[in-house]
Structure 1
Amino acid sequence: MDLNLRNAIISNVSGNSQEELEATIMDAIKSGEEKMLPGLGVLFEVLWENSPKSEKEEILTTLENSLK
């Protein structure tokens, strides 16, 4: 069986409303479970790939400042 985790995660959230996406993200963060990290990573990948350069710079600034 060849399971593509990235495609499965995208399939699970495709068509979700903003509220549903926020609930998914918040549930993953609040649970603190390591098994949720791949899902958050895929969502971050989608965000990154679909953001213009100015938003990428804002994301990087936020990450840099949050990790100090």
Structure 2
Amino acid sequence: MTSPQQITVSTLIDAPLETVWTCWTEPEHIQQWNAASPDWHTPHATNDLRVGGTYLARMEA
């Protein structure tokens, strides 16, 4: 078994914090921006942001 690895991504977004948080965390918004390329889409997204919660965003071509 390999040991867990960590990836950190950092960026600056010129928008109000509340707007960014909403778009980053609400499934209906995740479906709008989560795509590998223009011919992909995300028909389903769910999450539970509590500690130990879950995150799922299914992409399809």
Q: Shorter chain as normaliser: what TM range?
A: under 0.3
| Greater relative contact order structure (CA < 8 Å, 6+ sep) | 1
Structure with more helix by fraction: 1
Give the TM-score of the pair, scaled to structure 1: 0.25
Normalising by structure 2, report the TM-score.
0.26
